[in-house]
Structure 1
């Protein structure tokens, strides 16, 4: 079962984000606080949205997605950028990841969005295989660049 996250889900979303960061071998980079997540997802001007995957039998949260709108200047319409998708190892293979992506694809179709995009670590072969089984294809002509921490500060302080 997939449902839209509520403010009461912030603690579990925070926990799942930390589990994902640990899986991706980058726990020290996961610095978001529950308060920041609450503001981003449910504040006056939400910057992102979230869905929860629940175990069908118990109702226990077993996964989540966090996403936000992007915009294609070439297509002239919004799309969805999937920031995080995670299903706990104990629940993998149960259709939760597919259901989360299906829900986001449904939102795209219903709203006329023409892209659903995300990034995946090159070493995460199980995820890559799963995504490709759904028809997703890598955009290998593009390289993601990122400014953070000192580099971002330095550039941002230039006149």
Structure 2
């Protein structure tokens, strides 16, 4: 997104719109992929030779749940977007595209969940426990600790 500095009135300017989903392509991330455009509602103002841009951003993303591995959609938002651009001598336009992209990436959840109540997968058979219980025995054994519990030290 390009902001034309010379077109900003003294009181500032409101900017609303969308950027294409390709902007959010995350080559290094297997967890999230863009599912729609990046929407922005920004306000730009020149203050003491600096361009101040603030507002909110949102983007629809598809992710893979860290517990059950199901694909889910979520809206990632940044309601406190704020950037300043100084050293505008001779600059006619400022490209804020990378800052918009960065703000959305920094707001992606670190542990993506399809639902806070997600039960995940059965550690024995791999069945998605959100779809119902599996047939695995849930005995009182110590599981992975059985071998250590039987040691006589």
- The TM-score range, normalised by the shorter chain, is under 0.3
Higher share of residues assigned helix: 1
**TM-score if structure 2 supplies the norm length?**
0.27
**TM-score if structure 1 supplies the norm length?**
0.26
